[in-house]
Amino acid sequence: MSFMNQANWDRIARVVLGIVLLYLGFGGVVAGGFGIVLNIIGVIALVTGLAGWCPIYAIAKFRTNKE
């Protein structure tokens, strides 16, 4: 797909990171304001990893996949 700007290793790393951060935030391991921040970052990492497109990469005209 032409809109994807992430390589498979980048996508896998983002999905794993997103799941870990969401577990830390929602699982009660980290509470309070920092837990909310971890939840937000976790959702962003998970969504961009599943979609294969990162808006920051697009703005910077950077990509980790070959095309």
* pLDDT tens, residue by residue, 10-32: 999 999 999 999 999 999 899 99
pLDDT digits (tens, 9 = 90+) for 39-56: 999 999 999 999 999 999
How high is the pLDDT of residue 27? 92
Q: pLDDT: is 66 or 36 the higher one? A: 36
Once rounded to an integer, what is the mean pLDDT over residues 59-67?
A: 89
Cβ(36)–Cβ(25) below 8 Å: yes
